Structure 1
Amino acid sequence: MTSLEAAALWVGLNALLLIFLSARVGMNRMKHKVNLGDGDNPEMVKAIRTQGNYIEYAPAAIGGLVLLALLGVSATAIHILGGVFFFARVAHLLGLGLGLWPAGRAVGTVLTVLTLLVTGLWLIYLAAS
């Protein structure tokens, strides 16, 4: 598998995760009859923020993976960064969105930031080389 194929795998998995997070918001809107906003409903707030938080971080992580692949970083490194980011976002969902893993939100947040930090520094290094 090439680096770009590895990035494509993680971009595809993240696209599916976004569809899932978006569907959760839609299902909660129907369940709670909330057309716009959160209706002061805690379930709506969690679903909206889980999706929103993902949308706030995913573009930088996904774009970073693709750029690293295009700059020749190994497929193994792309898989590690992509896998950690994807795990981080699922952990965040399990913690904040679903309440199934209380530590998931914190684990997801820390791993998301670490993934972005490594990706960002690596891109800066490659740009300066």
Structure 2
Amino acid sequence: MNTNIVPAYAALLALFYVALSIRTLRLRRQLRIAVGDGGNPAMLRAMRVHANFAEYVPLGLILLHFVEAQGAQPLLLHGLCLCLLLGRIAHAYGVSHTAENFSFRVTGMALTFTTIFFSSAWLLLAFFRQHLG
């Protein structure tokens, strides 16, 4: 079953990544920091939001692609993709504020890990069903 759900979410995540990139670049220009964080906490936060996104989203999308390619039900795909998308938004929102509300950060990471964990588990189960069943 080829449902082509994941590419739509990948596009949304890519647009969000571009928005985070532009935000970081604007802050660099405003603070006149060419490289690194310049010891500025706001710059450090913007960099970490951007980097954390870049660290987790590719793995999540690769796993989601494999889940889709293995024929997962559309409802499962939408649920996992929404977890990743909403998780990244919540994390970015939480970490972006100096007076950080940790609930957004924790929720964001929990949703991201949910996507990675359940996608991995689904893929392993599919593998064992195909090869041992």
Unaligned runs of 5+ in 2: none
Unaligned runs of 5+ in 1: none
| CA distance, structure 1, for counterparts of residue 100 and residue 5 of structure 2 | 29
**Counterpart amino acid of residue 116 in structure 2:** L
| Corresponding position: 1:96 with 2:95 | yes
| CA distance, structure 1, for counterparts of residue 83 and residue 122 of structure 2 | 16
Q: CA deviation at 1:101?
A: 7.0
Does the residue aligned with 2:71 lie in a helix, a strand or coil? coil
Q: CA deviation at 1:98?
A: 3.9
- The answer to whether the 8 Å contact 1:92/1:104 transfers is yes
Alignment of 1:31-50 (within 5 A): 31-50=30-49
Q: Decide whether aligned partners of structure 1 residues 99 and 81 sit closer, same or farther in structure 2, where only a CA change above 3 A counts.
A: farther
**Counterpart amino acid of residue 63 in structure 1:** I
Q: CA RMSD in A?
A: 1.6
Higher mean alpha-carbon deviation, 30-39 vs 118-127, is at: 118-127
Alignment of 1:72-87 (within 5 A): 72-87=71-86
Q: Which runs of 4+ in 1 moved over 3 A?
A: 98-101
| CA distance, structure 1, for counterparts of residue 47 and residue 68 of structure 2 | 32
**Counterpart amino acid of residue 73 in structure 1:** A
Deviations 1:29-82 (A, max 9, x none): 101000000101111101000011111110111111111111100111111000
Aligned to 2:124: 124
- The answer to whether the 8 Å contact 2:83/2:114 transfers is no
Q: Decide whether aligned partners of structure 1 residues 3 and 105 sit closer, same or farther in structure 2, where only a CA change above 3 A counts.
A: farther
| CA distance, structure 2, for counterparts of residue 3 and residue 87 of structure 1 | 24
Identical residues among aligned pairs (%): 27
| CA distance, structure 1, for counterparts of residue 20 and residue 123 of structure 2 | 29
| CA distance, structure 2, for counterparts of residue 82 and residue 64 of structure 1 | 10
Q: TM-score, normalised by structure 1?
A: 0.92
| CA distance, structure 2, for counterparts of residue 100 and residue 5 of structure 1 | 40
